[in-house]
Structure 1
Amino acid sequence: MTCVVPALRFARLTEVPLEELIAHMSDPRLRAHMPLLVGAWGEAEAQAFVAAKEACWARDGLGHWAFLANDRYVGWGGFQKEGKEWDYGLVLRPPDFGLGQRITCAAIEFARSDPRIPFVTFLLPPSRRNFGALHRMGAQAVGRQNHSGAAFLKFRLDTSSRDNNPQGGTS
């Protein structure tokens, strides 16, 4: 059996048709684990979302990407500055959940090569129960944090050391 591994590309959210973002962010399987995602998602919300993410790029020189596999939109995420910390987020379409580790590994390698990012934080909703992938990459639980009125579990990964291998094991 031959496995075809899709070519990944990190693009700007402006490259994704708004209809795809609306469908993605309206999926009830996502909404169940995204406490900040409230209300209906239509064209106005999608436009405001893309504008807010582009403002992060303008302000910080880095922000969220659209993730494309063989030029097909599979989700969004990346790094967003929260105070003095760079938070990593990943929101994939349910049929593409299997690409999460590959995308995260590529993103963390990017962070390791960027001197602005000595560590990365991850904010996960308390509804999330499986943290094995975070632990395998070396992320440590650092407690809870409220963000925009919602509670999250916070993890931290040192990116300044090559000893942290996002695929598990050692370098």
Structure 2
Amino acid sequence: MTFARLPEISPEEILAHMNDPRVAEHMPLLTGRWDRQICDDFVKAKEDCWRRDGLGHWAILCGGAYAGWGGFQKEGDEWDFGLVLKPESFGLGTRIARKALAFAKSDERIPFVTFLLPPSRKHLRWLERLGAAFVGEVDYAGSTFLKYRLDTE
């Protein structure tokens, strides 16, 4: 498993991923189909995070194939970890999260990581196994999310 930058992935592959209804099931902020402009704007926004914060979301490759995207995004004073996988890669989430969190633990800018998960996600024991603690419900962009926090120091 390796991390790459999103511009290295074909827009068609990202579009197919983000337009899969199984992906949208757990993404309340994903309200419609993506087109090429939305995809290009998304990749640009994620690259802007890298320029602004020195860190952002990666394209995740497993065996050289695109499995999804995820990584860290600065939200105020917090680093939020997000992970959006293609359905055929759903089972890789804990393994990918462990690799990304090992990165966070080695980066002194990141004293803790937050996770925002939609209430539709029912299998959250993996967060407990990682050591994350439930903070509470929060509103983000008009949707309710379950917030967890994991200290990295």
TM-score between both structures, scaled by the size of structure 2: 0.98
2:63 corresponding residue in structure 1: 70
Out of 88, 99, 108, the residue aligned to residue 106 of structure 1 is 99
Percent of aligned positions that are identical: 60
Q: Larger Rg: 1 or 2?
A: 1
2:140 maps to what in 1? Answer: 147
1:39 maps to 32
Instruction: Say if 2:68 is the partner of 1:54.
Output: no
Match of 1:165 in 2: none
Gaps of 5+ in 2: none
**Distance between the aligned counterparts of 1:58 and 1:150, measured in 2?**
28
Alignment match, 1:19? 12
> Is 1:82 paired with 2:75?
yes
SS at match of 1:49: helix
TM-score (norm 1): 0.88
Aligned length: 153
User: How far apart in 2 are the matches of 1:159 and 1:53?
Assistant: 23
Alignment partners' CA distance in 2, 1:117 and 1:154 = 17
Which letter maps to 2:108? P
2:124 to 122, 131, 154: 131
In structure 1, stretches of 5+ residues that fail to align are: 1-7, 161-171
SS of equivalent residue, structure 2 residue 34: coil
